[in-house]
């Protein structure tokens, strides 16, 4: 026998399918939502649907944006000859928060992980290579993937692809804790990792 109504069970199932939310949290969230005023719930649902319908990848760097080109790529004052490769849009946000990086980015949307069956074709790597061969004056590619096994594997893979193009490839310093998500690292540590980058 189901303990809750069918609608609540359905809601719990949907919430439990989200990352980082276990069954208990899903139940707690479901009951919280049920107890909210209907207007609040409508607003939340609308925000989710609108984000899904309107957010897309930047044509150049593949970060998530509302327009064809993201504000960073569209900014003439940024150094478009330096590209920092990050795993996801949250890592990009972490570097942007330091306010010290003036180049542009490339967002991979993942990292190579043989264990999880994620290969080079499952991330935006082909797009990076197309971008590099399409642009003439790239001075440096900074690989800022996480220092996890997946991040290091990805960094090595990318550097091997880029080096034959004659473009300087650097890797952020390993002051970043192993396995740590870049977004959880403080700005000083991020800047130190960036400044201490080494050529691969
Ligand atoms: Zn962009």
Task: Note the pLDDT tens digit of each residue in 83-105.
Answer: 999 999 999 998 998 888 999 99
- Tell me how far the alpha carbon of residue 182 lies from the centroid of ligand 1, in angstroms: 19
* Residue 37, domain CATH: 1.10.8.420
Question: Can you give the residue range of the structural domain that contains 172?
Answer: 72-199
Same domain? For 19 and 97 the reply is no
Among the listed ranges 9-18, 65-74, 162-171, 182-191, which one has the minimum average pLDDT value? 182-191
Is residue 194 domain-resident? yes
The strand pair at 103-107 and 140-143 is best described as unpaired
- Tell me how far the alpha carbon of residue 57 lies from the centroid of ligand 1, in angstroms: 8
Same domain? For 45 and 78 the reply is no
Same domain? For 39 and 84 the reply is no
Question: Which pLDDT band holds residue 140 (cuts at 50, 70, 90)?
Answer: very high
Please tell me the distance from the alpha carbon of residue 186 to that of residue 33, in angstroms, as a whole number.
33
- Tell me how far the alpha carbon of residue 28 lies from the centroid of ligand 1, in angstroms: 37
Question: Which pLDDT band holds residue 176 (cuts at 50, 70, 90)?
Answer: low
Same domain? For 113 and 173 the reply is yes
Is residue 164 domain-resident? yes
Same domain? For 79 and 112 the reply is yes
Same domain? For 89 and 159 the reply is yes
Same domain? For 101 and 49 the reply is no
Same domain? For 190 and 135 the reply is yes
- Tell me how far the alpha carbon of residue 72 lies from the centroid of ligand 1, in angstroms: 6
Residue 181 has pLDDT above 70, yes or no: no
- Tell me how far the alpha carbon of residue 16 lies from the centroid of ligand 1, in angstroms: 32
Please tell me the distance from the alpha carbon of residue 154 to that of residue 120, in angstroms, as a whole number.
8
Same domain? For 120 and 147 the reply is yes
Residue 33 has pLDDT above 80, yes or no: yes
The chain-wide mean pLDDT, for the chain, equals 90
Same domain? For 119 and 171 the reply is yes
Residue-level pLDDT at 2: 65
Is residue 64 domain-resident? no
pTM: 0.79
- Tell me how far the alpha carbon of residue 166 lies from the centroid of ligand 1, in angstroms: 24
Is residue 59 domain-resident? no
Q: Which residues contact 197 (CB under 8 A, 6 or more apart)?
A: 142, 170, 171, 172, 173
- Tell me how far the alpha carbon of residue 63 lies from the centroid of ligand 1, in angstroms: 6
* Residue 156, domain CATH: 3.40.1360.10
- Ligand 1 ion: nearby residues, β-carbon < 5 Å: 58, 60-61, 70, 73
Can you state the angle between helices 187-195 and 89-98, rounded to 10 degrees? 90
CA 21 to chain CA mean position, Å: 20
> What would the mean pLDDT of 141-148 be, rounded to a whole number?
92
Counted domains in the chain: 2
Please tell me the distance from the alpha carbon of residue 30 to that of residue 4, in angstroms, as a whole number.
11
Residue 175 has pLDDT above 60, yes or no: no
Residue 139 has pLDDT above 60, yes or no: yes
Is residue 191 domain-resident? yes
- Tell me how far the alpha carbon of residue 90 lies from the centroid of ligand 1, in angstroms: 14
Is residue 62 domain-resident? no
Same domain? For 43 and 92 the reply is no
């Amino acid at each position: 026998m189901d303990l809750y109504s069918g609608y609540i069970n359905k809601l719990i199932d949907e919430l439990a399918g989200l990352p980082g939310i276990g069954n208990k949290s899903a139940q707690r969230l479901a009951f919280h939502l049920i107890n909210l005023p209907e207007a609040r719930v409508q607003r939340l649902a609308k925000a989710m649907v609108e984000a899904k319908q309107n957010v897309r990848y930047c044509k150049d760097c593949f970060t998530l944006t509302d327009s064809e080109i993201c504000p960073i790529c569209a900014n003439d004052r940024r150094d478009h000859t330096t590209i920092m490769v990050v795993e996801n849009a949250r890592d990009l946000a972490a570097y942007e928060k330091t306010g010290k990086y003036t180049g542009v980015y490339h967002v991979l949307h993942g990292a190579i992980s043989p264990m999880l069956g994620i290969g080079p074709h499952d991330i935006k790597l082909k797009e990076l290579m197309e971008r590099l061969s399409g642009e003439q004056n790239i001075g440096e590619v900074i690989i800022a993937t996480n220092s996890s096994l997946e991040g290091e594997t990805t960094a090595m893979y990318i550097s091997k692809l880029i080096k034959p193009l004659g473009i300087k490839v650097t890797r952020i310093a390993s002051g970043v804790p192993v396995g740590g998500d870049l977004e959880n690292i403080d700005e000083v540590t991020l800047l130190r990792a960036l400044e201490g980058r080494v050529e691969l």
